[in-house]
Chain A
Amino acid sequence: DQQVKQNSPSLSVQEGRISILNCDYTNSMFDYFLWYKKYPAEGPTFLISISSIKDKNEDGRFTVFLNKSAKHLSLHIVPSQPGDSAVYFCAASVPGTYKYIFGTGTRLKVLA
């Protein structure tokens, strides 16, 4: 049972436009979420996070939105750049543990 879902395996966007990556979760107890970016042949790197006490967190071109009632979060990249082409994973921190549950990832391709 996949508790963190990324239903779009891939996404293509033109350079300069907005990229929107989506993530859904099933466990309402999750209260901290992270996005990671992964380039081929490298380990994932942290991008941005959000706590459930917020509904938005911004860092430069990257903004994460959290809709707790819908159990949905999204990552917005504006403007998208070719260097943003990578696989993006969302993850949820499991309360009371030191565990994280990752989604299946979305491959973003930004076209020049």
Chain B
Amino acid sequence: NAGVTQTPKFQVLKTGQSMTLQCAQDMNHNSMYWYRQDPGMGLRLIYYSASEGTTDKGEVPNGYNVSRLNKREFSLRLESAAPSQTSVYFCAGALMGYTDTQYFGPGTRLTVL
């Protein structure tokens, strides 16, 4: 039982490059989330998926796209990376969502040069 896993752990991109951050969970979560953590800003929600087949914008969705590939996997794509997207990205899952505990992955540290 791996919980919530994220790949890669670290990534360095050049401005304009694209990449996909992968997230998978084996906890039977219906809801999945992508957050970014920046110094002094806390955790900000980028996108979330309340259930398989649905996705919705969070607080800071610009510059990102997501795919809920199936119940287990929720990926985050940067089409044209910018230095402002340098951050630590966390994926999380919850059984249903509202009032449910979120379980977080270990994070991906992304640097955009």
Which residues of chain B are within 8 angstroms of A97 by Cβ–Cβ distance?
97-98
Contact with A along B86-100 (1 / 0, CB 8 A): 000010101011110
A to B CB contacts below 8 Å, 26 in the list: A36-B104, A41-B106, A42-B106, A43-B90, A44-B102, A45-B104, A46-B102, A46-B103, A49-B101, A51-B99, A89-B42, A89-B43, A91-B43, A93-B98, A93-B99, A95-B98, A98-B48, A98-B94, A98-B98, A99-B45, A99-B58, A101-B59, A102-B43, A104-B40, A105-B42, A105-B43
Q: Is B75 in contact with chain A by the CB < 8 A criterion?
A: no
Interface centre among A32, A99, A100 (most CB of B within 10 A): A100
A102 touches B42 (CB 8 A): yes
Which residues from chain A sit less than 8 Å from chain B, CB to CB?
Answer: 6, 9, 32, 34, 36, 41-46, 49, 51, 89, 91, 93, 95-105
In Å, the complex CA distance between A105 and B103 comes to: 17
| Those of B42-98 within 8 Å (CB) of chain A | 42-45, 48, 50, 56, 58-59, 90, 92, 94, 96-98
